[in-house]
Amino acid sequence: MRIGPVRAVAPFELTDMQYRLAYRNAAEIAAFSNSRWAATPAEMFRKQLQRATGDGPAKCVLEVEIQEFSQVFGSKETSDARIEARAGLSSGAKAMARQFTVVESNSGPDAVSGAAAFARAANRMIGEIGGWAAAQPDCR
């Protein structure tokens, strides 16, 4: 497949590392004050997708919208890296989409350990998206 646009919804379109304190209010999101991603989550995810798929002729185009990319703290000492994304495949006039959610448990109490957990979570999500895409007859 060919990698098309990868984008993220606010506030995940920035390089801020976002977190949620689920033990207080899971709906509230904040940014770590002294930690930033090297690039936006969408840029990093797109690069990982490109490394995983390689180059070559493609029957389908993949588009991804990142809807959640945050470290969720269940307590002050424990957190999960959570990625939610909607992936879409198009092949000529045919299009399909699917929602994906990956949670990497026990990602640690800080942004540094969370970053490592996000790398694992992103790799898992790319594997799930790749498996889904490979199962589509129009993309083989």
Q: Determine the pLDDT at residue 88.
A: 96
More confident residue, 31 or 91: 31
> Which CATH architecture fits 2-139?
3-Layer(aba) Sandwich (3.40)
Q: What confidence score (pLDDT) does residue 127 get?
A: 95
71-104 burial by CB neighbour count: b if 16+ within 10 A, else e?
Answer: bbbeeeeebbbbbbbebbbbbeeeeeeeebebeb
pLDDT digits (tens, 9 = 90+) for 8-23: 999 999 999 999 999 9
Where do the DSSP E strands lie in 11-118? 16-21, 26-36, 61-73, 79-91, 94-104
Q: Name the β-bridge partners of 68.
A: 84
Compute the CA torsion angle 85, 91, 95, 97 (nearest 10 deg). Answer: -20
Residue 55 has pLDDT above 70, yes or no: no
Residue-level pLDDT at 84: 98
pLDDT tens sequence across 98-139? 999 999 997 888 899 999 999 999 999 999 999 999 899 888
Hey, where are the domains in the chain? Answer: 2-139
- Token pair belonging to 28: 């509230």
What pLDDT score does 137 carry? Answer: 87
Query: How does residue 140 score in pLDDT terms, banded at 50, 70 and 90?
Result: confident
CB atoms within 10 A of CB 69: 26
Tokens of 129: 């998206």
Pair of tokens at residue 111 = 């942004």
19 in Cβ contact with 114 (< 8 Å): yes
> Largest alpha-carbon pair distance within the chain?
49
